[in-house]
A and B are shown apart, each in its own frame.
Chain A
Amino acid sequence: MTAQPLHLHEAEDYLGRVIAVLHTMSPERKGPLVAVLDFLLGHIQRTRSDLNALRTDAQQPPLSNTVDELEEIVRETASATNKIMDATEAIERIAAGVPAETRDALRVEATRIYEASAFQDITGQRIAKAVRSLQQMEDQIGALVRGCCDDAAPADACLPLDADDLMNGPQLAGQANSQDDIDKLLASLGA
């Protein structure tokens, strides 16, 4: 049986229930789950940070949220599209003064450029949908992590993780390797 896609309002309901269950769990059992959620949240935040780093105008202040990033992308593609259309309209003006055969050929190509320029509107709308989803996921996971960390969870369970921290999966308290253990392991591997 194929799983049905989850709508965001349903996801919110499920997450609320998950938080309630997490509150009933012992800190030892809850810690790894919180760590995974924190990792997901950190991953989304890093993605946003990477998007910020791709900005072309360093004079502008950092973007504060995903919606700003989206608007920046749409603004930049709109600006590029307008420049393309400026150039195409200029070509059409020049074409008005050339022999009919050449003028018609230029007009056909100009039409193709106009048609291709529709990408700006389409990509803008698609990006808007994707980034809105990302924003909602970020909000939901953040709420889940905060919900888990509100009560007696151990403090280290709520610390942000790096991607490498999860290479072997989250570790249960008491079963974790100490730094010495890790150092010994690395040494045995020749590192």
Chain B
Amino acid sequence: MKQIVVISGKGGTGKTIITASFAALSNAKVIADCDVDAPDLHLLLKPKVKQTFDFKSGKKAFINEEECINCGECVEVCRFEAIDEIIENDVINRMIIDPISCEGCGVCFHVCPVNAIEMRENLTGKLFISETKYGTLVHAKLNVAEENSGKLVSMVRNYAKHMAEKDKKNLVIIDGPPGISCPIIASITGVDLALIVTEPTLSAMHDLDRVYKVAKHFKVRSIVCINKYDLNLKNTKKIKKYCKENNIDIAGNISFDLIVTEALVNGIPVVEYIDNKVSNEIRDLYNKTINLL
């Protein structure tokens, strides 16, 4: 069983649009949406949810006001500025914990002299196993304002792998998140191939370089696709040069075409929406990617 992840560094270069078309083109796969922060793949694949799992991650501190003696020791030790002393008429009246700033380290819980702080388990998201007309989709939703999306990403990857093994599918196609920190690291570690979607813009090129280095750091092989390559041919040339210098295969170029947005608005993967130049380019990209795998 092989795993491919679609990443980009910069957001909005076309990861999900390409992943959805890959899902439509492949017939032996499980699909995973690892952008648990702002997942969009379900908008194109229209999943029917079969199973839902709670995602619990870490704990958060709560103060029992009846026990609290307002000594302020917790405020002193908290490095995340999550605890505030509420002062009324020049005296400390009570303590409050901001659940958004609390990282759940529990230092306040350990230092509290009267055991007034409780660490409660934190429900931070949900994971779904769904059926789509293209096969099984494993996806998730991190609650807004939460942290630890790396762990939820790992959970999505584990379930996707499990479903592929169970149903004897030989491919997992993963839609990755933007950026270069914990969610992306969790999305790429141990995959067979990373397809980096870039654009001929200085921003996307800058981010391509950073995300390529992250993949390299974690020993993941990368290939590149240049989306909207005809928007700036000079920059496209520069990307090709960069790839040559770094020994990165270019798996395809996709033209700029507003039909891609039209397909998205209609909620259909481009390759199913229309048969034209751009859908053929995506087909070629898919075939080449599978060959390079």
Do the two shown chains form a genuine complex with each other? Answer: no
